[in-house]
Amino acid sequence: MKKFILSLLFLAVGCLAFAENYEELTKNFTTGKAAIQSMSVLTFGPEGILFVGDSKGGNIYALDLNDREKNESTERFAMEDVETKLGSALGVGPKEVLIHDMAVNPISQNIYLAVSRADAMQLGYWRMANDIANATILIKIKPDGSMEEVSLESIYHSYAEVPKVIEPGTESWRKSDYRTDAITDIAYDDRKLYVAGLSNEEFASALRIMDFPFNKKTSYSTIEVYHVAHKKWETEAPIRTLVPYTMNGQKYILAGYTCTPFVSIPVNDLKPGKHVVSKTLAEFGSGNMPIDIISYKSGDQPMLLMSNSNKTLIRINPAKIDVGEKGLTEPMPEGAYTIGLDHDVLSGQGITQIDNLNSNNILLLQRQPNGTLALRSMRIRRS
């Protein structure tokens, strides 16, 4: 009986702390239209707040979706032929919709997709959804498979400007406007948003740290990487995907670049106005663009998982990362394709977006052998 009472007490205290934290984080929110011009990237905070990186507008939005009903299910999720279902909901054909990003609400397990009406046949080896159109449609998919559009016309939200984003009007090597890469990825951790992308500075690759709730304080650093396959130091290539991760009591940004350097950056080095040289831990293979990286637990073992445009899933054991070891600063040996940090290459072609679904499963957006797009789960833990 005492254990039962203590359990109820701990639950009540946890719920109260969660509610107080939510109230604190949303104290500056207002109700009105969220004037998002492009949902380039999505990520959730633990309180069910959805953060949206808007490359075209040069802003980060925080949306309260009123979606905080706890779902403790450890069940898997599957949806076949997602594009046909989206097209039907939006009144277009399956090849006239593009999915730009995906995020799972960690409280409700509802799935959110950033979507545009566009010609999917324009996608190519390097051309991604953000290169073709601006996502302005937010779709919610519930665990039962039902689908609905989220209205942004009157929503509780806040936003902040991302400083020094690259100006529009210049064509990139992928034949799209460089403004597409103003915000390439965002990650939320401990009331801070880490925002990667291109700036209007001479050293274009930038990493910002924005306090949340939003205020006028934003730390801005330019980032340099040694690209083993390219045999040179680079300051113009933006980070494509990132995750904050604590090792040996110190917080780092672990990040992937196109073609595919994998690096670490100590957060303590990210001082306002400072130029930071990242440490190249590995080269995972050229001819590829990283899309997502997440942290998860397989049993008690923390792991990292990265999805890619032209490779299968890459799994990294962070325990193998030696933060004291010197990074890679020499060209790739002749005939080599990967070098550096040990990693696993998992089966499964065509996996683009990934996110944690629940304690037992990771959610994958995957192109199937028959050409259709599916949402499916990858089991990481047995109940």
pLDDT for the residue numbered 46? 87
pLDDT for the residue numbered 18? 55
CB 225 within 8 A of CB 218: no
pLDDT for the residue numbered 382? 59
Q: Give the tens place of pLDDT for each residue, 145-163.
A: 999 999 999 999 999 999 9
Q: pLDDT band for 300, please (50, 70, 90 cuts).
A: confident
Q: pLDDT band for 17, please (50, 70, 90 cuts).
A: low
Q: pLDDT band for 348, please (50, 70, 90 cuts).
A: confident
Segment 281-299 mean pLDDT: 95
Q: pLDDT band for 323, please (50, 70, 90 cuts).
A: confident
- pLDDT at 37 exceeding the cut of 80: yes
Q: Give the tens place of pLDDT for each residue, 240-263.
A: 999 999 999 999 999 999 999 999
pLDDT for the residue numbered 86? 97
- Please tell me whether the overall predicted TM-score, pTM, comes out greater than 0.85 for this model: yes
CB 158 within 8 A of CB 30: yes
- pLDDT at 368 exceeding the cut of 90: yes
pLDDT for the residue numbered 21? 87
Instruction: Report the percentage of the chain scoring pLDDT > 70.
Output: 94
Indicate the pairing of strand 290-298 with strand 301-308. antiparallel
Q: Give the tens place of pLDDT for each residue, 261-285.
A: 999 999 999 999 999 999 999 999 9
Half-sphere exposure of 274 (CA within 13 A, CB side): 13
pLDDT for the residue numbered 264? 97
Segment 226-230 mean pLDDT: 95
Residue 152's CB is within 10 A of a number of other CB atoms, namely 19
- pLDDT at 8 exceeding the cut of 60: no
- pLDDT at 12 exceeding the cut of 90: no
